[in-house]
Structure 1
Amino acid sequence: MSEETLLKFPCRFAIKAMGKTTPELDLVVVEIVRRHSPDLTEGAVKSRPSKGGNYTAITVIIEAHSKQQLDNIYLDLSSHPLIMMVL
């Protein structure tokens, strides 16, 4: 049984994670994504604090190779206690 997706792999894909601003949030997100996509390139990670600075949104651009890879990244990110939301 094949899983349907509109994506054609491999492709560039943006993963966004948000959480309360902490010194380790960026490191946690990068470490989790790197487990599934070890070939992160220079400039692949961007952080943006919320207007009040209480929350941070982190975007990581990866070269995605399968739907399963993306599912695994989302599962690991969403199960981490520092991460409130994954898009």
Structure 2
Amino acid sequence: MSEEQSLLEFPCQFAIKVMGRTSPDLDVLVVEIVRRHSPDLREGAVTSRPSKAGNYTAITVIIDASSREQLDAIYRDLTASPHILMAL
């Protein structure tokens, strides 16, 4: 989909949602990956929530997205990590 066809208007705030198995380093890993493409994360941009049984953690990172290409690169890097089960 080209940027002209996108439903998003850039720049915009965009929430990236990630799920992985709970580990002490999962938040750090997700932030490192996102910061490669969006180095200026704001204070409070990252939130996490464990699943009911605590086996999985959902992490949300809100970024200032500048383009569709930036978002695509973030999702490619997130889904390439073996520690991340899903990225939305």
Same fold (TM over 0.5): yes
Q: Matches of residues 70-85 of structure 1 in structure 2 within 5 Å?
A: 70-85=71-86
Q: Per-residue deviation at 1:18? A: 0.3
Count of residue pairs brought into register by the alignment = 86
**For the residues of structure 2 that align with 1:24 and 1:43, how far apart are their CA atoms?**
18
Counterpart in 2 of 1:20? Answer: 21
**TM-score of the two chains, using structure 1 as the length reference:** 0.97
Superposition CA RMSD, Å: 0.9
**For the residues of structure 1 that align with 2:45 and 2:63, how far apart are their CA atoms?**
7
In the TM superposition, structure 1's runs of 4+ consecutive aligned residues that sit over 2 Å from their partners are: none
Counterpart in 2 of 1:44? Answer: 45
Identify unmatched segments of 5+ residues in structure 1.
none
Does residue 69 of the first structure (1) align with residue 70 of the second (2)?
yes
Per-residue CA deviations over 1:8-65 (Å, capped at 9, x if unaligned) read 0000000001000001100000000000000001000000000000000000000000
Indicate the SS of the match to 1:60: strand
**TM-score of the two chains, using structure 2 as the length reference:** 0.96
Task: Give identity over the alignment, percent.
Answer: 69
